[in-house]
């Protein structure tokens, strides 16, 4: 009876499927015998197998580096076009057209001839376009950004001079503000912003009106006449998502007669998640924030003054500015001359 039970097990162990198990067992026994007979030989055997494994790993790394280099070289023309401010859609179109039109002509007529937001050229831009939507005239030095139903992740302006703050400059005819941000009462719309950052501006006058924000932060400002009188209310938190948002827009170290960030479409609010404007110098006109709905507005260390004394309030946050949470810290009045 016992023999009848053992015989099938022996057959299974030594049969074709079972020979693998037997081989593994014999290999384990062989390693044990080698370790007992010669520990040094066992160590050398382990080292050889270790080196074999690391050689394969190193080979895989080398092959991966080669393929990365190939990919980098292949996308170099695309990166070059993006460096010069061409949008991704236009860059792809240029590369596809380049197979028949010739790269030299395309670069000469498109990259260097067209005005570009990312290079700081003036013009009227409709997000997310990087080239002006309206024909550019040499006498027009206004930066106009129009926001509508397409949400934008971030717009960043840094180190900008506006108005008459640089030689031979002037505001456009009929304009009184060097920078205007917001919607339009005539078109019944607002500019919706996740976070509006006003950082280190230098303005002749500054005014915020007809605006609502969940959190209002005004700190470290100095003004030749200061009136901060917002109203407590119940503005909601808001963030601008919208899935496939427009590409970020950024410009730095530029000069303009005027900057306008507006919403041109009737009954449609413009949308941008982060609107960051830093180190702005204006002269010859005021700085106006009007008809903005924001989650957070930060006014940080701005300097405002027209040199007309403290009795005239050059910096005003009007009662039509409504907030739910406010942080008003270290804002002082002092005599300040125009820029």
- pTM for this structure? 0.63
In whole angstroms, how far apart are CA 113 and each of 131, 157, 294? 11, 23, 37
> Which of 72-76, 83-87, 163-167 shows the lowest per-residue confidence on average (mean pLDDT)?
83-87
For residue 116, what pLDDT is reported?
64
- What CA–CA distance (Å, rounded) separates 270 from 145? 10
- What CA–CA distance (Å, rounded) separates 181 from 45? 74
Which one is predicted more confidently, 286 or 53? 286
Residue 85 has pLDDT above 60, yes or no: no
Q: How many CA atoms lie within 13 A of 54 on its CB side?
A: 6
Tens of pLDDT along 95-127? 655 443 333 323 333 333 456 665 556 666 665
Peptide bond into 129 cis (omega under 30): no
C-alpha dihedral, 70 to 71 to 72 to 77, nearest 10°:
110
Residue 323 has pLDDT above 50, yes or no: yes
Task: Indicate the domain borders of the chain.
Answer: 2-74, 78-114, 121-333
For residue 87, what pLDDT is reported?
54
Mean pLDDT, to the nearest integer, of 188-214?
96
For residue 120, what pLDDT is reported?
59
Mean pLDDT, to the nearest integer, of 273-283?
94
Distance of CA 154 to the CA centre of its chain: 5
Tens of pLDDT along 260-277? 999 988 999 999 999 999
For residue 48, what pLDDT is reported?
83
């Amino acid at each position: 009876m016992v023999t009848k039970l053992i015989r099938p097990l022996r057959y299974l162990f030594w049969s074709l499927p079972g020979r693998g198990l037997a081989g593994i067992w014999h290999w384990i026994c062989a390693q044990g015998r080698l370790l007992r007979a010669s520990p040094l030989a066992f160590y050398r055997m382990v080292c050889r197998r270790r080196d074999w494994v690391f050689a394969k790993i190193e080979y895989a790394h080398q092959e991966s580096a080669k393929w990365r280099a190939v990919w980098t070289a292949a996308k170099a023309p695309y990166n070059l076009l993006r460096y010069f401010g061409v949008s991704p859609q236009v860059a792809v179109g240029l590369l596809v057209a380049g197979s028949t039109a010739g790269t030299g002509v395309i670069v000469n007529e498109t990259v260097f001839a067209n005005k570009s937001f990312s290079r700081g050229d003036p013009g009227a831009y409709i997000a997310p376009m990087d080239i002006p939507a309206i024909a550019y005239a040499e006498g027009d030095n206004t930066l106009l950004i129009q926001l509508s139903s397409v949400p934008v992740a971030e717009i960043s302006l840094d180190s900008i001079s506006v108005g008459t703050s640089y030689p031979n400059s002037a505001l456009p005819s009929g304009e009184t503000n060097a920078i205007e941000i917001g919607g339009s009462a005539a078109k019944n719309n607002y500019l919706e912003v996740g976070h509006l950052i006003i950082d280190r501006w230098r303005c002749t006058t500054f005014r915020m009106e007809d605006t609502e924000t969940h959190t209002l932060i005004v700190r470290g400002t100095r003004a030749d006449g200061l009136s901060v009188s917002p109203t407590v209310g119940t503005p909601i938190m808001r963030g601008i998502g919208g899935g496939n948002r427009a590409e970020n827009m950024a410009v730095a170290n530029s000069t303009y007669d005027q900057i306008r960030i507006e919403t041109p479409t009737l009954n449609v609010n413009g949308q941008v998640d982060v609107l960051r404007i830093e180190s702005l110098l204006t002269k010859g006109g005021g700085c106006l924030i009007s008809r903005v709905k924001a989650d957070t507005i930060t006014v940080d260390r701005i300097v405002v003054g027209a040199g007309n004394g403290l009795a005239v309030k050059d910096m005003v946050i009007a009662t039509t500015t409504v907030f739910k949470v406010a942080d008003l810290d270290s804002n002082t009045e002092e005599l300040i001359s125009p820029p």
